[in-house]
């Protein structure tokens, strides 16, 4: 039994709440919605599945005799170690992780403190190249000729919205604050890159 007279309500029309005319929300810094009305993330993924994750790697052939420069008297001499690219056209909000590993070999014995700096540059599509990160290896104690220093560092770059392809370039330079005659080489290096979509 109903707590009211059901027959009194059978003649009333069904009620449908009004539909909202507001457009779906999305990240204003990223791409607009698909014309079909789907949110951008759904539209992008429906076209590009299954590619939620990609990776690439490349050997560094080796760069020899990079000079260590007294920067109180002259400018550093940077040398490019290698480049690696990643295809991002199937990602809506790509995040890229770059791994760099290599072996530094010191050319001559020295007791002058010096620093080896690694710089990471990025160029996406037709945009200008820009430096996104750097790492320093400081040598403060006397070091013998032929000394090997292993390095391994990572960069996380999630500022790639709307990019179709990005190329990363790794550069090394040596600097000191006093007179020095020395150089270093970078050998046995590997560049690895991984890309996925931010959720």
pLDDT in tens, 140-171: 999 999 999 999 999 999 887 778 899 999 99
- pTM over 0.85? The answer is no
Place of tokens 């960069």: 155
Distance CA 156, CA 96 (A): 6
From-to residues of CATH 2.60.120.660 in the chain: 53-197
Residue 39: band (very low, low, confident or very high) from pLDDT cuts 50, 70, 90? very low
Distance CA 178, CA 113 (A): 8
Distance CA 98, CA 94 (A): 13
More confident residue, 4 or 86: 86
Residue 90: what pLDDT?
A: 82
Domain 53-197 classification at class level: mainly beta
The answer, yes or no, to whether residue 76 has pLDDT greater than 80, is yes
| 70 in Cβ contact with 183 (< 8 Å) | no
Residue 22: what pLDDT?
A: 42
DSSP, collapsed to helix, strand or coil, labels residue 42 as: helix
- Determine the average pLDDT of the residues in 78-101: 92
Question: By C-alpha distance, which of 107, 172, 116, 181 is closest to 143?
Answer: 107
Distance CA 197, CA 51 (A): 10
Q: What are phi and psi of 176, to 5 degrees?
A: -145, 165
């Amino acid at each position: 039994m109903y707590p009211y007279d059901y027959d009194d309500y059978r003649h009333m029309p069904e009620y449908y709440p009004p539909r909202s005319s507001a457009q779906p929300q999305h990240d204003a810094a990223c791409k607009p919605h698909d014309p079909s009305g789907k949110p951008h993330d759904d539209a992008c993924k429906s076209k590009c599945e299954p590619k939620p994750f990609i990776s690439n790697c490349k050997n560094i052939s080796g760069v020899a005799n990079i000079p260590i420069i007294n920067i109180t008297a002259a400018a550093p001499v940077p040398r490019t170690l290698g480049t690696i690219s990643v295809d991002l056209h199937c990602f809506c909000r790509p995040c890229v992780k770059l791994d760099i590993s290599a072996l530094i070999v010191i050319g001559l014995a020295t007791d002058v403190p010096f620093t080896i700096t690694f710089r990471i540059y990025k160029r996406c599509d037709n945009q200008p190249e820009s430096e996104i990160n750097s790492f320093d290896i400081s040598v403060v104690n006397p070091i013998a000729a032929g000394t090997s220093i292993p390095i391994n560092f990572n960069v996380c770059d999630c500022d790639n919205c709307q990019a179709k392809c990005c190329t990363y370039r790794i550069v090394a330079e040596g600097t000191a604050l006093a007179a020095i005659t020395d150089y270093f080489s970078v050998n046995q290096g590997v560049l690895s890159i991984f890309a996925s979509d931010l959720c």
